[in-house]
Amino acid sequence: MVQKVALLTAGGFAPCLSSAIGGLIERYTEVAPDVEIIAYKNGYEGLLSGDYLTVTDAIRAKAALLHEYGGSPIGNSRVKLTNAKDLVKRGLVAEGDDPLKVAADRLVADGVDVLHTIGGDDTNTTAADLAAYLATNGYGLTVVGLPKTIDNDVIPIKQSLGADTAAEMGARFAKNVMAEHNAGTRILLIHEVMGRNCGWLTAATARKYHEWIESVDWLPEIGLSKKSWDVHAVFVPEAEIDLHAESERLLKVMDEVGCVNIFLSEGAGITDIVEEMEKAGQEVARDAFGHIRLERINPGAWFGKQFAAMLNAKKVLVQKSGYYSRSAPANEFDRALIRSMTDLAVDSAIEGKPGVVGHDEENGDVLSVIAFDRIKGGKPFDITEDWYLELLSEIGQPGPVAAAPVEH
Q: Is 301 exposed, middle or buried (0-12, 13-18, 19+ CB in 10 A)?
A: middle
Q: What are phi and psi of 320, to 5 degrees?
A: -110, 125
Q: Is 123:11 a contact under the CB 8 Å cutoff?
A: yes
CA–CA gap between residue 206 and residue 201 (Å, rounded):
8
Give the CA angle between residues 156, 321, 307 to the nearest 5°.
Answer: 100
Q: Note the helical H segments in 81-219.
A: 84-90, 99-109, 121-136, 163-177, 200-215
Q: Which residues, in sequence order, are CB contacts of 57 under 8 Å at separation 6+? A: none
Residues 351 and 176: beta-carbon distance below 8 Å? no
Q: How far apart are CA 305 and CA 323, in angstroms?
A: 23
DSSP for 82-122, written as a single string? T-HHHHHHHTSS-TT--HHHHHHHHHHHTT-SEEEEEE-HH
DSSP for 252-318 reads: HHHHHHSEEEEEEETTTTHHHHHHHHHHTT----B-TTS-B-HHHH-HHHHHHHHHHHHHT-SEEEE
How far is the C-alpha of 349 from the C-alpha of 171, rounded, in Å?
Answer: 37
Of 122, 151, 153, 343, which one is the catalytic site residue? 151
Beta bridge partners of 263: 191, 234
Q: What count of other Cβ atoms lies within 10 Å of the Cβ of residue 160?
A: 27
C-alpha to C-alpha distance for 106 and 359, rounded to whole angstroms: 31
- Has 151 been annotated as catalytic? yes
- Count of alpha carbons within 13 angstroms of residue 270, beta-carbon side: 28
Other C-beta atoms closer than 10 Å to the C-beta of 271 total 15
**How distant, in Å, are the alpha carbons of 54, 98, 139 from that of 108?**
16, 16, 8
Query: Could you tell me if 118 and 148 are in contact, meaning their C-beta atoms sit under 8 angstroms apart?
Result: yes
CA trace torsion 275, 277, 281, 286 (10° rounding): -90
Q: Which helix (H) or strand (E) element contains residue 344? A: helix 332-351
Q: Which residues are catalytic?
A: 151
